[in-house]
Structure formats: structure tokens, C-alpha cells
Amino acid sequence: MDIQKLIDDVAQALSRYPNDGKVADYIPQLARVDPDHFGIAVADVDGRLFTTGDAEIPFSIQSVSKVFTLTLALGRVGDHLWKRVGREPSGSPFNSIVQLEAEHGIPRNPFINAGAIVIADVLLSGHQPKACIAEILHFLRELTGDFSIAIDPAVARSEQETGFRNRALANYMQSFKNITHPVEHTLGVYFHHCAIAMSCVQLARAGLYLANNGVNPTTGFRVVTRERARRINALMMTCGHYDASGDFAFRVGLPGKSGVGGGILAIVPGQAAIAVWSPRLNKNGNSLFGSLALEMIAEKTGWSTFG
Ligand code: GLN
């Protein structure tokens, strides 16, 4: 299979499609990005890398970061995590508050905002916010072997200034004692990990341990157990695209995690990690062309979790 030709063809085909998606502007700094960026990187478990378009330009990874904070939090507290956050799809938008009252402040899953804020609170235990943010960044740098990965301070500030909903979610969960640190500390960790900037190449490389049974194929180091990698993939498949997770599974058939910066990380177990970036989003807040690109790649390669 000529992956390079395939992704070049996908980029070419999409350049002829109309794109009526909208860049996220509820975080003002995100609205400043050129909406027509488009990049794909495919990193395979044998160490090969294929790229097309803007695959080397860093962008705001936003909720894609939640895959990595979940991995760290499971490493920290193991299965105790599931007392504080569920693992069911929510069927609701990423920033929804509606289920939290009936479910006593336990978010449905680690990938909706409420769940990721609880994960940030777990990671904060025993640390100052700065050290906790540094640990997350360090994890991504170790995974990729790329120490240039950094937080975009303007995005972090912008989200801190306008994150009223996230503040509401955190305060509400605090009332159920499911946030155990000062809300501003927990949110500080959350906003900063969402503001990490990475390119498609860096993101695909970072995700490879999930395609390789928990072992980083570049370094040979085990990041998580095989079982844990399988479970993180399962959560990405069922919850990674919020209320469009079913549609993503139907159309792409791979574990995937999207972010409102327009990035998506998809995992092909046993084969590869794919990162795509296109900032214009569909109505569910997922990259419009990113999802389409993954659908085309899955169709042409036959890569699927479902046979
Ligand atoms: N930082 C964003 C927020 O909290 C993340 C949302 C996303 O990428 N879906 O709203």
C-alpha cells in the first residue's frame, strides 16, 4: 500500500470540496488561526512516517490532550479513577452540564470537558499546578523525543479569560466533592494542557504507543500495559467525538480523539497512528475535513477495528 500517494490523493481530493465548517471562536485566540490549514501525518509502528500538507505546523491540540492526561491519571491511580469519572458515551456536547446533576457530579467519561477537568484534578494531587503542567508536557516530549513541544501561552490566557462554562462545570463538581483542589488550580492545569501546541507529525508519533500494545515503538519503552492501551482505545472509539462518536465509529471505524483546534488523532491498532488537522469544525465541534480525510484513508486502506 502506497500510503504517501494515498494521503496526497486525499489532500488533493479535499482541496476541491467546499468546506462550510466554522473555526472555533468561543476561545478568541483560536479564531486567529488560518482556517484553510490542512495536514496529515501517518506514523507506523515500523518507524515510517508519511506526511502531506501542513503536517509540521504546530496547532492547538485542545481536547486531543485528554488522551494523554487520561493515560497519566490511570498511571497515577489505576482503576480507582472510575469512581470519579464514568466510561459511557454522553450523547451530549463536549461542554454540556445537564447530566451532572442527575449523576451526582460524576462525569460520563474522561473526554467530555467535565471528565477531563476531574482528570486534571487527579493529576494535581500532591503537586503544585506548575509542576503538574510540566509533568504533562514532559510526558509528550518523552513520547515524541521532541523537546520543542510547548504550551501556547496566548491560547492558555484566552481560555482562562473566557472559560465560563468550564468554570461552571468545575464549581458544580466541587459541590459534589468531585473536585478536590481550588477550582482555579484544577482549571489552570486543564486550560494549559488544552493549550499545548503540536504538529500532526508530533501528535502521530505521540499516539504510537496506543497502536503498539502500549509500547512506544521508537524507544522500546512500555508506556502502559497492553490491556490499558486497549481500554484507552475503546474509550476513544466510544467517547472521543462527543455526541458524534457513533457517527465517527460508523464512518471511520477507528479509535479517535478530536479537539476544537481542528486536530484529530486516530489509532490503527497494530499498525499506525494518524493525525489530521483542519481548523474548520462541524456542528459537533469536530474537524470537518479531518473526519472526511480519516474516512477516506480508512476506506482506501481497509484499516478498521471492525474487520
Ligand atoms: N479547551 C477546550 C474547552 O474546554 C477543549 C474543548 C475541545 O477541544 N472539544 O472548551
CA 33–ligand 1 middle distance (angstroms): 16
C-alpha grid cell for residue 216?
512506544
| Residue of the CA atom closest to atom 2 of ligand 1 | 62
199 near 59, Cβ under 8 Å?
Answer: yes
pLDDT, residue 165, reads: 97
| Residue of the CA atom closest to atom 3 of ligand 1 | 113
Question: Which is the closest atom of ligand 1 to the Cα of 116?
Answer: 4
Strand, coil or helix: 53: strand
Q: Quick check: is 85 catalytic? A: no
Place of cell 467535565: 114
What would the pLDDT profile of 224-234 be if each residue is shown by its tens digit?
999 999 999 99
Pairing type for strands 196-198 and 39-44 reads unpaired
Distance CA 236, CA 107 (A): 16
Distance CA 98, CA 108 (A): 11
CA 5–ligand 1 middle distance (angstroms): 33
Query: Mean pLDDT score of the chain, rounded to an integer?
Result: 97
Residue 251: Cβ within 10 Å count: 15
Residue type, 182: P
277 near 54, Cβ under 8 Å?
Answer: yes
pLDDT, residue 36, reads: 96
Which is nearest to 243 in space by CA: 46, 59, 143, 109? 109
Question: Which is the closest atom of ligand 1 to the Cα of 242?
Answer: 9
11 near 147, Cβ under 8 Å?
Answer: no
What would the pLDDT profile of 75-109 be if each residue is shown by its tens digit?
999 999 999 999 999 999 999 999 999 999 999 99
pLDDT, residue 147, reads: 97
pLDDT, residue 66, reads: 98
Distance CA 264, CA 274 (A): 8
Q: Quick check: is 172 catalytic? A: no
pLDDT, residue 258, reads: 98
Q: Does pTM top 0.95 for this prediction?
A: yes
Cα-flanking dihedrals φ and ψ of residue 39, to 5°? Answer: -150, 155
pLDDT band at 27 (very low <50, low <70, confident <90, very high): very high
pLDDT, residue 128, reads: 97
CA 155–ligand 1 middle distance (angstroms): 11
CA 21–ligand 1 middle distance (angstroms): 17
pLDDT, residue 23, reads: 97
264 near 198, Cβ under 8 Å?
Answer: no
Residues with C-beta less than 6 Å from any ligand 1 atom: 62-63, 94-95, 113, 159, 166, 194, 259-260, 285
CATH numbers and ranges of domains, the chain: 3-60+201-218+254-301 (3.40.710.10), 63-194 (3.40.710.10)
Q: Quick check: is 122 catalytic? A: no
Q: Quick check: is 242 catalytic? A: yes
Place of cell 486516530: 266
State the catalytic residue, choosing from 190, 201, 223, 252.
190
Which is nearest to 3 in space by CA: 289, 303, 203, 216? 303
Where are the strands (E) in 90-210, listed by range?
Answer: 150-151, 196-198
What would the pLDDT profile of 168-201 be if each residue is shown by its tens digit?
999 999 999 999 999 999 999 999 999 999 999 9
Distance CA 164, CA 187 (A): 11
Place of cell 466541587: 174
What would the pLDDT profile of 256-295 be if each residue is shown by its tens digit?
999 999 999 999 999 999 999 999 999 999 999 999 999 9
C-alpha grid cell for residue 39?
495536514
Mutate to test the pocket of ligand 1, among 29, 94, 282 (most ligand atoms within 8 A of CB): 94
Distance CA 125, CA 118 (A): 11
Mutate to test the pocket of ligand 1, among 22, 26, 62 (most ligand atoms within 8 A of CB): 62
pLDDT band at 140 (very low <50, low <70, confident <90, very high): very high
pLDDT, residue 257, reads: 98
Cα-flanking dihedrals φ and ψ of residue 215, to 5°? Answer: -105, 130
C-alpha grid cell for residue 162?
473566557
